Structure 1
Amino acid sequence: MLLEELPPIQRFLNRVLALPIHMQNALFAEFMRRIADQSERARAAGTLDLGVETLRGEKIEQVSTEDLWTCPKSGAVTRIIGLEVTDPVYVLVAEEAISRNPDKLPMVNRASGRAALISARPMQMYDEDIVTLMRKAVRPNGSSYLEEARFESSAWEEIDRPEFAQIWEAEAASLPKTTTTKLYLLTGLLLPIWKDIPTTNERIYRVTPDGATAMIGRTLSEEGAASLRARFLVSNPQTPQEMLTAALGTTAPVDLGRGLTLTRRRVAGEMRLELGGADRGMIDGLNAKGS
């Protein structure tokens, strides 16, 4: 239906108010569930705008400080701060997980042997103009979303509660008691270089690392930090460290000399560096050195 063909909002609300109370409750419950799901997906993707957030953790350690750029007029410095945030891992017992997710079915993936509570029916998720059918999967270590096509072709199958509880508790017991996340904070003078900052994550945090002063900055992924280092710290790489920094910050090949190049690639979700232009003799030599 075209946008101009939709009824006015007043008419829509009047029709909602004319429904029986139990139908109104069901309608608004579904509406709030969809808002919560979309917000959760946006938070996981780093696109949920909450303004200035306070970064919290059981332990927040500042592990590195790098001067990225200095304003030639004011002398103000832009820095990349490396942080490690450690938090305890809270895992629900199976029965509590089931009670908190009444709309999900206890299932096991026969291929991996892992358990999850998965939505009994797919939901429509909107990403710009694209509508995708998704199911939410709740596991001992968190939640994620499965595209309906992937779910249908996977090895997930429904099981009874006793079997589910046994698999869930075994997996929960194997999880680490704490988790440590590495992130980077871009602090100091940001406005002059704002257009150069990667836009994959624009969350602003206020953080006070253990034993350090409070700071406010914009979060960066590891790849985003590498891209900024290559942009501002290495314009013409000459030393091995500069070449490595340049390679980590771009997907373009970096010339190492003697016909060799170093290129960053993502394979199966993992970043790796590939050496190009090496002949068999050089490869054998590198292997002999353990490279």
Structure 2
Amino acid sequence: GLVEDRVEAARAAGTLDLGIETIRAEKVVLLSDSLLRTDPVIGAETLLLRLELHRRPPITNWAALQLICKNTDNIAWLRNARSGRVALRMPTWPGQDDDGKWIERCYLIRPSGQLRMDRAALKASHWSEIEPDAFQVFWEGEVAEATENLMVETITMATGLLLPIWHKLPEDDVRVWRIDDGVGGSILGRIIHPAAVERIQREFGLDGATALGPDEIIDGARSVGGVSIPGLGPARLARVHVNDSARLEIRDYRPEDRTWLKACGAFSEVVAFKTRIFLPPDRACDILARIMAERS
């Protein structure tokens, strides 16, 4: 997601600042606003906003990449045979699976983004090593392409008088962010991770007021317990580890929905004598969009 990408990039570059961060956008579109609270004394409001951000991607040029990987061992110059995109592989801290087992991970830096990835998943993917000279040519080509395009991302933000409801907001990320709209205005508040939006709405009696998009649901799946899928009743999307690889699993689905989910593009696999439903990672967004469109 937007926040995670910025934090990972700053940490890799050694410039992580835990104070107020500013996100600069070319344009900010207000999609919806929901009232969380009105102060009984001063009348100040606390709002939950859905914002569409049009922004320049955080581009890492070739010179900056050299500084990031300087004096770092165990790096690799990678190119994806399917997409043609390139990424620099760097070491990062390990993760844990659902059973507490440590999982080796790596950090992939791309010209306009970053992500952490399980080593096993990387090995089974379309990424492979190429020569540094060829990598530089592809990298600089992607940088040139990225500078011409705007990224569009939707976020949920709590803004206004936050102190009275601070204890009800997620505790895993308490930073305050400033959204600069590019024309002199700004919005100050707490960005709510997709996985926490459902709980926040329930806390304030706003069940269903905000529907997450497919990208946000996939982002929210990384949290403990995953995130609900609109239109699928109790079903939730969760990121799990099965056979040493990361998967996107639809949990708690209704048995009568299994055949329909597979027709939408999901696939089933028997794990420990139980049939489980997963989404192929390269098509997860499209499949979720279809599920939500047909069940909304």
TM-score of the two chains, using structure 2 as the length reference: 0.54
Question: Helix, strand or coil: the match of 2:234?
Answer: strand
193-202 or 268-277, which moves further after superposition?
Answer: 268-277
Offset at residue 79 of structure 1 (A): 0.9
Offset at residue 266 of structure 1 (A): 0.9
**In structure 2, what is the Cα distance between the partners aligned to 1:210 and 1:115?**
30
Residue pairs, 1:97-246, within 5 angstroms: 99-100=66-67, 101-102=69-70, 103=72, 104-110=75-81, 114-119=85-90, 122=91, 134-148=105-119, 150-151=121-122, 156-165=127-136, 167-168=138-139, 177-209=149-181, 214-234=186-206
**Which segments of structure 1 move beyond 6 Å, counting only runs of 4 or more?**
41-44, 242-245, 250-253, 269-275, 277-280
- Which structure dedicates a bigger proportion of its chain to helix? 1
2:233 counterpart residue number? 262
Higher CA-based Rg: 1
Structure 2 regions of 5+ residues with no counterpart?
1-6, 218-224, 240-246, 262-290
Q: 1:56 aligns with which of 4, 18, 24?
A: 24
2:51 counterpart residue number? 83
Cα RMSD (Å): 5.1
**In structure 1, what is the Cα distance between the partners aligned to 2:104 and 2:45?**
46
Offset at residue 209 of structure 1 (A): 4.0
Residue pairs, 1:27-38, within 5 angstroms: none
Offset at residue 204 of structure 1 (A): 0.4
Deviations 1:62-87 (A, max 9, x none): 33221112344554322112222222
Q: Which amino acid aligns with 2:20?
A: V
Offset at residue 187 of structure 1 (A): 1.9
Offset at residue 232 of structure 1 (A): 0.9
Q: How many residues align?
A: 228
TM-score of the two chains, using structure 1 as the length reference: 0.54
